Amino acid sequence: MRSQVISKEDFKKIIHTLIEVQDIYSNALEIEKKILEQRKNLDDMSRQLARLSSMLKKYEQRKKELLKTKELVSENLANAKKRLAELMERESEIARNQRSIESFNIEVTTLRASISEISEELRSIEEQINDINDRYEETKKAYESLSIEYQAEEKVVEEQSKELIEKVEELKALKEKKLSQIPAHIAQSFDNLLTKKGGLAIVPIEDLGNPKKYKDHYYACSGCNIILPYMVVEKIKFGNDVVQCPSCFRYVYHPSWLDRLG
């Protein structure tokens, strides 16, 4: 175990550097989060665009089917009308024969009913086509406006990301520079701890007062809230070695003791 005694001045310098490095790390983390958020927003828009595009395809397909049906029904209607016209032409000729007039009348009535039915069907198909057209146009408009919005957003995000990534790189370089100014074993362990503890690797200790008379004060690690052993507190107070919490291993310090040192 390392236990080399360091000067109070070095101790202060190390603690201040660790706090600085932690702030730099947090800033970089925040910026990285912002980059991810912007990307997520773009991804959401892109998914929405894909959904609209698939709706447009479905409407197109449905419209094609309806137009085909319309063609068939129109043909049926034309045939029925033609048949009726042919019958009507022969009406006066058939009227002379009492027997055939009865079956003629039945056929005409049936044909007229059929024509009216087919016409009704055709109207319904046309209504459906109009409805699909309306939906298609509406969806297309939504697609186009979102598409424009997406392109603008993409440009902004690309530019901003570039800046933000540069900023993160700068901060990382600054962090390395700062860490290089303190003993390597502390720098290494602190850097690992920052990653492991989500950016909180050095914390002030918290004065809990003296609930019991026989000891001065109790102090807790503000990272994990355990009450620190007396020996640990003494070491922090003395300031000749950096101290880690025995429970969460975060580096611990006391702001006003630090200011008093040296």
What residue ranges bind Zn ion (CB under 5 A)?
Answer: 221, 223-224, 245, 247-248
The SS3 assignment for 246 reads coil
CA distance 80 to 97: 24
Nearer to Zn ion, 168 or 201 (CB): 201
Nearer to Zn ion, 53 or 247 (CB): 247
As measured in angstroms, the least distance from the Cβ of 224 to Zn ion is: 3
Do 129 and 70 form a contact (C-beta atoms < 8 A)?
yes
Do 115 and 80 form a contact (C-beta atoms < 8 A)?
yes
As measured in angstroms, the least distance from the Cβ of 247 to Zn ion is: 5
Nearer to Zn ion, 6 or 224 (CB): 224
18 Cβ contact list (under 8 Å, min separation 6): 182, 186, 190, 201, 202, 242, 251
Nearer to Zn ion, 77 or 199 (CB): 199
As measured in angstroms, the least distance from the Cβ of 220 to Zn ion is: 8
Nearer to Zn ion, 119 or 189 (CB): 189
CA distance 33 to 25: 12
As measured in angstroms, the least distance from the Cβ of 44 to Zn ion is: 39
Q: Could you give the angle at the alpha carbon of 219 between the alpha carbons of 223 and 26, nearest 5°?
A: 25
Buried-state track 248-261, b at ≥16 Cβ within 10 A, e below 16: bbbbbbbeeebeeb
As measured in angstroms, the least distance from the Cβ of 258 to Zn ion is: 18
As measured in angstroms, the least distance from the Cβ of 252 to Zn ion is: 7
Nearer to Zn ion, 182 or 252 (CB): 252
CA distance 226 to 75: 87
First to last CA, the chain: 26
